[in-house]
Amino acid sequence: MTSTLRRIIDCFSDCKGNARQDMLNMNQDTNCAPMLTQGVRLHIQDRYVVMDNGIVQVSLSKPGGIVTGIRYNGIDNLLEVRNKETNRGYWDLHWNEIGGKGIFDVIQGTSFRVIVENEEQVEISFTRTWNHSLEGKYIPLNIDKRFIMLRGSSGFYSYAIYEHFREWPGFELGETRITFKLRKDKFQYMAVADNRQRYMPFPDDRSNGRGVPLAYPEAVLLVNPLDQRLTGEVDDKYQYSCENKDLRVHGWICFDPPVGFWQITPSDEFRSGGPLKQNLSSHVGPTTLAMFLSSHYAGKYMVPQFEAGEPWKKVFGPIFMYFNSAAYGNDPLLLWEDAKIKMMVEVQSWPYSFPASEDFPKSEQRGNANGRILLQDRYISNDCVIASGAYVGLAPPGDAGSWQMESKNYQFWTQANENGFFSIRNIRPGDYNLYAWVPGFIGDYRHEAVITIISGCNIEMGDVIYEPPRDGPTLWEIGIPDRSAAEFNVPDPDPKYINRLFVNHTDRFRQYGLWERYTELYPEGDLVYKIGVSDYRKDWFFAQVVRKIGDNAYQGTTWKIKFELDNVDRNGIYKLRVALASATLAELQVRVNDPNSNRPLFTTGLIGRDNAIARHGIHGIYKLYNVDIPGTRFVKGENTIFLKQPRCNSPFQGFMYDYIRLEGPPTPC
């Protein structure tokens, strides 16, 4: 780490928790010298409102609440000036009446008001209220969009309050987010992680004869890009998706002048689906998104349905739009390092003290829950073992694992330390279940008792003991139980469809078209895996997909697991545990030693809509299936388990496995 970055970190460490002061501007000395001290000013005009703190000026339409301009570091507007004003910085949603057709809506306010106005802070509100005369035209929600600017802050905050009244009609909300479209002549370098950043194509490269659409519209082969170095690459926004737990900061860098545009999400509490839910981040546009609710990598199970007579209110955000700059001659990529440091400051400052809405509870109005999580599996140890690294969270009451599909309310997650201790902080008041899952072990934990959080509470849970599913000793296993298929054989991409960023990358699964490689690698027959001989890292394809047999013609596949049994307990029950990391309009049929039996021993039926195969996700919704196999189905010597996926109307149908284990019959303690 450079001495410059060390001074930056020291500076922010001294100033953490105060989001109003010492916002780094990298074209100044990186000590803790005070920044510009101009107070925040609000200029209200006929059609626009401007927030100005001397560092940043943000213009919004009035009363629509669309961000039309951001002036920073000598650039008149960071947003795309060629776009219409309604297509620069906006909140949007996708919804439908129950059973109706989907509607995309850029949310325009109809009323403007000032909430807070002083030299330290400005908070403004743009609201759109609903009544029955708007039925079928607008989603039946009152929506209050808020924007906040603080003294000395190199950016601004935004959050929104959505409310549905009991007497209003029902609806489904498929997606909501905040979107910023940046200037394509300025912002051409994108960063979403330390190992996922690059020069990006221009939006023009995706059309006008410069790009060829592939299997779905989001994926385009660049055949004549403006930057010829990108020729032959695939651009696909899903290649830059992130799990919620890793989606804290992302954005773009302009090199002339050196300026960064960053979207920082300091908390996951308002995002749907928990820490493993995957969302879009930044992509060609140049576009940066803050996704709050979406069905990506989950399907219809993630779309909340609100019935008539169901009241609901939720606060999305605040999120922070952060801008930084560097002096000419300095490395502009240090802007990314600074953005990460600023993200840490924002995370440590959560929940913010400055939002004015009573619907956003402050720290003293929230509660905490603490405890220790242990594992009990007698086939590993007679004693409880520490569940180090366990994911532990509070989410609305439901079944074990239901947090994956939860999209209406709030969730609060943490990871247990090396001794199994966990502390979940700043929980909104309400009723929750405690949920957990442990890397290295299958299944989901749910604490039976409902936990009620009230303002100021500090609940001590004590020792929480999770007993992972287990009936008998492990006879064999394939993979690692971590809810991902990343450890399996992810093939090299077709040379015609490469994103060079992901060549020799830890996330090699993000390459386009990997589903087609299965037919090429297994041209004569399906995968056969031999226990004790095969290596899942090389010999287990990352997804059980269909086989291509012609143009738009496919057939289902049957994978074989071969293994030896020296002895068979014909009176006992064996247990096959199949943990799926993903499923897309697929069916898993299990047969034992007879591939041609009319009825499988077990079938899931048609399951899954997460589309992770096409969207380079390596996992979607986690599912665990437990199959009883009578000992009479096995023979002494070689046995075969057949895993058949017969559904074959699309190239994207199939599974990603997380982990498979065969257990013998229970043994005495």
- CATH numbers and ranges of domains, the chain: 36-196+241-349 (2.70.98.10), 363-466 (2.60.40.1120), 474-663 (2.60.120.260)
Q: What ranges make up the beta strands (E) of 347-440?
A: 367-375, 385-386, 391-395, 412-415, 421-427, 430-437
Instruction: Say whether pLDDT at 28 is over 70.
Output: no
User: Residue 481: what pLDDT?
Assistant: 98
Lowest mean pLDDT among 29-38, 150-159, 254-263, 345-354: 29-38
Supply the DSSP symbol for 274. Answer: -
Mean pLDDT for 440-445 is: 98
CB-CB neighbours of 81 under 10 Å = 13
Cα–Cα distance for residue pair 439/5, rounded to 1 Å: 33
Cα–Cα distance for residue pair 105/403, rounded to 1 Å: 27
Mean pLDDT for 143-170 is: 98
Instruction: Look at residues 321, 342, 318 and name the one whose alpha carbon lies nearest to residue 270.
Output: 318
User: Residue 17: what pLDDT?
Assistant: 36
pLDDT tier for residue 426 given thresholds of 50, 70 and 90: very high
Phi, psi (rounded to 5 degrees) for 554: -140, 160
Whole-Å CA distances, 545 to 89, 187, 393, 558, 602: 39, 38, 33, 10, 19
CA contacts within 13 A on the Cβ side of 205: 26
Cα–Cα distance for residue pair 110/129, rounded to 1 Å: 8
The whole-chain average pLDDT of the chain stands at 94
Q: In a 3-state reduction of DSSP, which class is residue 246?
A: helix
User: Residue 13: what pLDDT?
Assistant: 39
pLDDT in tens, 171-215: 999 999 999 999 999 999 999 999 999 999 999 999 989 999 999
Cα–Cα distance for residue pair 507/520, rounded to 1 Å: 21
Q: What type of residue is 599?
A: R
- Residues with Cβ within 8 Å of 433's Cβ and at least 6 positions away in sequence, in order, are 394, 395, 396, 397, 398, 446, 447, 450, 451
Q: Cis peptide leading into 257, omega within 30 of 0?
A: yes
User: Residue 22: what pLDDT?
Assistant: 36
Query: With contact defined as beta carbons under 8 Å apart, do 429 and 361 qualify?
Result: yes
pLDDT tier for residue 11 given thresholds of 50, 70 and 90: very low
The full DSSP string for 51-105 is EE-SSEEEEEETTT--EEEEEETTBS-SB-TTS-GGGSEEEEEEEE-TTS--EEE
Instruction: Look at residues 305, 202, 199, 297 and name the one whose alpha carbon lies nearest to residue 247.
Output: 297
Q: In a 3-state reduction of DSSP, which class is residue 545?
A: strand
Lowest mean pLDDT among 31-45, 57-71, 312-326, 429-443: 31-45
DSSP β-bridge partners for residue 397? none
Place of tokens 């220790």: 372
pLDDT in tens, 82-136: 999 999 999 999 999 999 999 999 999 999 999 999 999 999 999 999 999 999 9
Q: What type of residue is 314?
A: K
pLDDT in tens, 49-85: 999 999 999 999 999 999 999 999 999 999 999 999 9
Instruction: Say whether pLDDT at 10 is over 90.
Output: no
User: Residue 669: what pLDDT?
Assistant: 63
Q: In a 3-state reduction of DSSP, which class is residue 348?
A: helix
Instruction: Look at residues 77, 79, 76 and name the one whose alpha carbon lies nearest to residue 87.
Output: 79
pLDDT in tens, 513-524: 999 999 999 998
pLDDT in tens, 229-240: 999 999 999 999
Q: In a 3-state reduction of DSSP, which class is residue 335?
A: helix
Please state, for a pLDDT cut of 90, what percent of the chain lies above it: 93
Cα–Cα distance for residue pair 160/262, rounded to 1 Å: 19
User: Residue 381: what pLDDT?
Assistant: 92
Cα–Cα distance for residue pair 143/109, rounded to 1 Å: 8
Mean pLDDT for 9-34 is: 39
